[in-house]
Chain A
């Protein structure tokens, strides 16, 4: 049981847009910044978004992040087959004094 809640799977057609939600509480998302990671099959996770909505160098602007209250959302536009991956949200939990991740969302590009 993950501290952060994500839908197990989402799907959309190529060139369409998809959003992935991440729900937490006041001790984690509500008072800390959220990051998002992409994990392609058989590879290590890769940072996609940090501090709720910032993109590291090299991450295309098709990827965006937002936060409202105790929830965060990852958006991906112009879907490509290469975007098929598992996506994880993460943040710090101030009550537990630990890092926490969502359970992950598998994106399928139909």
Chain B
């Protein structure tokens, strides 16, 4: 079974540009989560998509946005890039949310975004 796949592996941008990161969940998973792992700051929750809709977002500015496609893959878009956006962006997927569901989140290898 293929795991969560993310592309690209590494992305280099300059300040003010826009970045698009992609994630394909494990087959059968409908929930996709995005996390930012900045150096020394651990993982911070960014966004959660389930069945095509944004269900929750973390404490990030609106320049961070995304979407989930009918095949449950997802994109994370970061507009007006700033130096502080340099980080590893991790995507995770899990089975569908339901009350009392406790499906573990399975992570991809991440996209390292470097802002020059």
A binds B: no
**Chain B: residues with CB nearer than 8 A to chain A?**
none
